[in-house]
A and B are shown apart, each in its own frame.
Chain A
Amino acid sequence: MPNLRDIKKRINSVESTRQITRTMEMVATAKIRRATDRIVAATPYATAMVDVLEAIAGRASNPESPLLVVRSPIKRIAVVAVTSDRGLAGGFNSNVLRAVDRFVALKRGEGVECDVIACGKKAIAYFKYRKIPITLSFRDQSADPQLSQAREIASLIIDGYVKERLDQVVVFYNHAKNVADQVMTSEVILPIEKVEYHEVGEGESTASYSDESAKAAAAHAAVLVEARAAAREVSSAALLQGDFDYEPSATAVLEALLPSYVETRVYHALLDSAAGEQGARRKAMKSATDNATEMVSTLTRLYNRARQGAITTEITEIVGGAAALEEE
């Protein structure tokens, strides 16, 4: 028969853990909102940029920007791994890190060298432990990515690519498909093969739980889609119609915009990952809270049974004692 006091102690400990995970869940929910706000704010620029590049691409004759040149054979690849600074977010970081690790091992097997750019403490720690050299690293910015960080990464990879030190640049990050789901995504951002805007937070919210916060977050995702539509309208209204004078020339405008486009892609990967991080943490903390609740109820049942057992034993002893006295 387990000790009553020991069970009580365990119940208390699980309850306080549950308090913590529940708080973290709520904090993550609040941060999802902040992260999606940032994406909304960055959307007009990204959509306008893509629209304009698409519009000019048709007019530009033989752009010669080195960023468009596809090289083969590939001898050196830069891999940008976007992770978070903090853990307790389920498989969020390990998904990206495992994929990068596999990719690097595969490429090394083919005789291709890989440079790793690590964003987030988790990536830094992972590669350090595996003795994979890191070219450039960022910490303490994963929840709040700054444009300057994207700019620094972009200037490094563009410089490397133009000077032919790098032949390809791949970004690995978690794409926040919706508030509940993150999809590990890898994108080749250099050379620029086609111009596209990776939609963020789009699609039906397949939230597997229907509490209030999930609804709020889903509503937020809907706002995001609307904002994007509005932004597209803003930029395309002015475009495409009529003959534009290009100064200095269509080709020159296109080439001038390509570096900004790379920067935008990197910035979006960072923002997307930041939103995904909070979503993943919320999900992880939600299931931790659920598990704790289940454990508390199991332990409480055990506690009551033990208590009942103790009472029964006591009564039996008293009755037995009384019976023994009567017989005398």
Chain B
Amino acid sequence: MAPTMICDIVTPDHLLFSDEAEFVSAPAAGGEIGFMYLHAPIMSTLRMGEIRVRKPDAEAVRRFAVSGGYIEADGRKVVVLASRAIEVSTVDVEISRERIAHNEKRLTELSADDPRRAFCRDEIAWQNHLVRLAQS
């Protein structure tokens, strides 16, 4: 069995995941990065994408959708501070679709230079991302 690291995934409102992991892959700024025990210390911003965590005993890989924030790894520990993160298996496609529809409606209601448009577009992109991951 390969040596393991601690992996924490933290979002602004709670600690989403904290456990041992054998392998973690994350969508870093320059492309996908895979982390294993004793990876060189690195700190990178995150793009919208998917984090995969393989635990030592489990066959299954846990998948998390993330967007924004950063990842920091020192070889023994991987810490992800994501602006948005959710485990893919808990995504409710129906709710995501509702959120998309709701924000698209808001976009049509807001004037062209309203600063809240950016917020709505972010939300739509994020929910679309969730739907895509949930269905893949």
Interface residues of A (CB under 8 A from B): 38, 41-42, 44-46, 48-49, 52, 56, 136, 147-148, 150-152, 155-156, 159-160, 234-235, 237-239, 241-248, 252-253, 256-257, 260, 263-264, 267
Report yes or no: A243 in contact with B81, Cβ–Cβ below 8 A.
no
Chain A residues, Cβ within 8 Å of B41: 242-245
Excluding A150-B12, A235-B79, 18 further A-B contacts by CB distance (< 8 Å) are A38-B13, A44-B8, A44-B10, A48-B81, A56-B43, A147-B12, A151-B122, A159-B118, A238-B76, A238-B77, A239-B74, A242-B41, A244-B43, A245-B43, A246-B43, A246-B44, A247-B42, A260-B68
Known A-B contacts A248-B45, A253-B45; the reply to A52 vs B72 at CB < 8 A is: yes
B102 shortest CB reach to chain A, Å: 11
B81 shortest CB reach to chain A, Å: 6
Chain A residues, Cβ within 8 Å of B29: 247-248, 252
Known A-B contacts A235-B79, A239-B72; the reply to A45 vs B10 at CB < 8 A is: yes
Q: Is B28 an interface residue (CB 8 A)?
A: yes
Question: Please, how many residues of chain B have a CB less than 8 angstroms from a CB on the other chain?
Answer: 33
Q: What is the chain A residue whose CB lies nearest that of B80? A: A48
Q: Is B124 an interface residue (CB 8 A)?
A: no
- Within B64-92, the residues touching A (CB, 8 Å) are 68-70, 72-74, 76-77, 79, 81, 83
Report yes or no: B79 in contact with A155, Cβ–Cβ below 8 A.
no
Chain A residues, Cβ within 8 Å of B14: 41-42
Of B44, B45, B122, which contacts A155 at CB under 8 A? Answer: B122
Of A248, A253, A264, which contacts B12 at CB under 8 A? Answer: A264
Report yes or no: A155 in contact with B43, Cβ–Cβ below 8 A.
no
A291 shortest CB reach to chain B, Å: 38
Q: Is B1 an interface residue (CB 8 A)?
A: no
Give complex CA distance A257, B30 in Å.
16
Chain B residues, Cβ within 8 Å of A152: 116, 119
- Within B1-35, the residues touching A (CB, 8 Å) are 8, 10-15, 28-30
Chain A residues, Cβ within 8 Å of B28: 247
Chain B residues, Cβ within 8 Å of A38: 13
Q: Is B40 an interface residue (CB 8 A)?
A: yes
Give complex CA distance A156, B118 in Å.
9
Report yes or no: A45 in contact with B43, Cβ–Cβ below 8 A.
no
A38, A42, A243, A263: residue with the most chain B Cβ atoms closer than 10 Å: A42
Report yes or no: B43 in contact with A263, Cβ–Cβ below 8 A.
no
Report yes or no: A45 in contact with B11, Cβ–Cβ below 8 A.
yes
Report yes or no: A260 in contact with B44, Cβ–Cβ below 8 A.
no
Report yes or no: A160 in contact with B115, Cβ–Cβ below 8 A.
yes
A256 shortest CB reach to chain B, Å: 4
B28 shortest CB reach to chain A, Å: 6
Q: List 21 A-B contacts (CB under 8 A).
A: A41-B13, A41-B15, A48-B10, A49-B81, A147-B13, A155-B115, A156-B116, A234-B8, A235-B79, A237-B77, A238-B72, A238-B73, A239-B72, A239-B74, A242-B74, A247-B29, A248-B44, A253-B43, A253-B44, A260-B69, A263-B83
Give complex CA distance A238, B123 in Å.
31
Report yes or no: A42 in contact with B12, Cβ–Cβ below 8 A.
yes
Give complex CA distance A136, B110 in Å.
13
Chain A residues, Cβ within 8 Å of B116: 136, 152, 155-156
Chain B residues, Cβ within 8 Å of A244: 41-43, 72, 74
Known A-B contacts A247-B44, A247-B45, A260-B69; the reply to A151 vs B119 at CB < 8 A is: yes
A321 shortest CB reach to chain B, Å: 80
Give complex CA distance A247, B70 in Å.
10
